[in-house]
Amino acid sequence: MVDYVVYYRVSTARQGRSGLGLEAQRRMVEGFLQSSDIVLEEFTDIESGKNDGRTGLNKAIALVKKTKAKLLIPKLDRFSRKVSFISGIIDQGVELVVCEHPNVSTFFLHLLACFAEEERRQISERTKAALSVAKSRGVVLGKNAQVLAKQRRSEKRVRAESLRIVFEQAYLETGSASGTAKWLNQNSIPSPNGKIWHVQPTINYLKALKLI
């Protein structure tokens, strides 16, 4: 029998309300727990993984220290991709258990954290490169807004595919069509008419790319 405090994190309020991401994490926890295990309490944060000051996590850690329980998380990358952050938690004397890596030692958790941080760095570099390409394409395409409006559906799919990596990153970080539109505008990605992205066209592109 093991006492656990369970911690979940989702990136956006919509993910929290809809269960997107959160339900998958809960299924992982349910599949991990043994019948004799006890969950003292569950905490959930709706925060970016970049934010280390999470209210739910702080409460979870406080309860772990008080009860001598273990902190159970579904996936390491849902927890954090920063080595310093994960090491800081472990250094506090918190015993961290990861559902997807149930039998790894503290040493290997540090290694996994290193891999997660490197993955985040590579994602960032790929995104920057993709944004540069998308911006250059968008400038050309945006000047021909009237022509684009008359193009056939197949041609629209070609443009959608050319922006796939950008849309995937935007939707991954925001979890919603409105958030994706905002992300595209903040990163100066022009819409087909060379202006800002609105929600409905963003939804159309997300559907075309089968992201929603």
Residue 42: its pLDDT value, please?
A: 96
**Exposed, middle or buried: residue 190 (CB in 10 Å: 0-12, 13-18, 19+)?**
buried
What are the angstrom distances between the C-alpha of 77 and each of 83, 119, 131, 160, 177?
Answer: 11, 10, 24, 28, 23
Which region among 35-49, 138-152, 166-180 has the lowest average model confidence (pLDDT)? 138-152
For the stretch 19-32, pLDDT in tens is: 447 888 899 999 99
What are the backbone angles phi and psi of residue 144, rounded to the nearest 5°?
-115, 45
For the stretch 137-163, pLDDT in tens is: 554 444 444 444 454 455 566 666 777
User: Which token pair is 88?
Assistant: 């800081």
